[in-house]
Structure 1
Amino acid sequence: MLCGFAHLEEVFRTVHGAVLQCSNKNCYWLEFMGDCTPFKVADFIQFKKQIEEIDLDSLLNDPSPRADYTILMPFRSQRCFVLTLNELLNLREIMEGAKFMMELPGFIKDCLHISPVSNKF
């Protein structure tokens, strides 16, 4: 489970899971389907890309039984995800929300630098 020395801050949460950031260990934790999975930052980003690259349209339109489940094995992780389409959509929502929340401070900073503030009276 979680490290006793970890200082976790919630990045994003839905009813299906969450992404937490550990400042002490410089890593992310994914809470999903009743389990917690740690990721180094680069591995978390790679896992997010792996999820984004899944063609949902082809899964929806494929009548074969193999399209009912998606198997994901994150790099440097002991966890294997065997997901139904609904679970895949839930995981994608969590990862997209976390990515947005991680990028939000940069967006705000860019907006503040682009918009000149005029204090002329």
Structure 2
Amino acid sequence: MPTPPNLQELFRTDHGAVYQCNRYHCYFVEFAGSVSPFKVPDFLDLKQHVDAINVAEMAKNPDRASDVHVFMPYRSERCFVLTLTDVLHFQELLQGARVMMALNSMLYECLYAPAVFS
């Protein structure tokens, strides 16, 4: 997917990408063939939900119902149907994006914080 001019790629893996949109103050998550927008709190909720998926339980549970995890994030029209492999790829993508968000925040503080001299 070519990056539109108002989006900056925040993090990418072989399975998706997260873009930052400063114009609308949101993140666009590209995963499993589609792109979904999320405001900052909703993106953090999405990450928290995906991180809370018990991968070990999915792997060891023989029930067919445990083969997939289905959820619909808050204020989103997107429904995610994730296999065990999808969950692992999605966790990797969201974790990398969150680390880049923290790094960007630290860089901004270092560059634009008022200098304090004693």
**What TM-score, normalized by structure 2, do the two folds share?**
0.83
What residue ranges of structure 1 are gaps of 5+ in the alignment? Answer: 112-121
2:48 and 2:14 map into 1 onto residues whose CA distance is 22
Q: Give the superposition deviation at 1:55.
A: 1.0
Identity of aligned residues (%): 42
Could you say which residue in structure 2 is the equivalent of 1:32?
A: 31
Structure 2 equivalent of residue 114 of structure 1:
none
Taking a change above 3 Å as real, the CA distance of residues 40 and 109 of structure 1, as seen in their structure-2 partners, is closer
The corresponding residue for 1:58 is 57
- What is the RMSD of the two structures over their aligned residues, measured on CA atoms? 1.9
Offset, 1:105: 3.6
Task: Note closer, same or farther for the CA distance 1:80–1:11 as it changes in structure 2 (3 Å cut).
Answer: same
SS at match of 2:23: coil
- Structure 2: unaligned runs, 5 residues or longer: 111-118
Q: Return the alpha-carbon distance in structure 2 between the equivalents of residues 107 and 76 of structure 1.
A: 29
Which protein is bigger by CA-based radius of gyration?
A: 1
Partner Cα separation in structure 2 for residue 94 and residue 78 of structure 1? 20
Q: 2:116 matched to which residue of 1?
A: none
CA distance in 2, matches of 1:61, 1:109: 43
Measured in 2, the distance between the counterparts of 1:85 and 1:59 equals: 7
Structure 1 segments of 4+ aligned residues over 2 angstroms from their partners: 105-111
Partners in 2 of 1:20 and 1:26 — Cα distance? 11
Pair 1:71 & 2:70 matched: yes
Provide the aligned length of Structure 1 versus Structure 2: 107
Distance in 1, matches of 2:56 and 2:69, equals 13
In structure 2, relative to structure 1, the CA distance for the partners of 1:38 and 1:86 (3 Å cut) is same
Is 2:50 the counterpart of 1:13? Answer: no
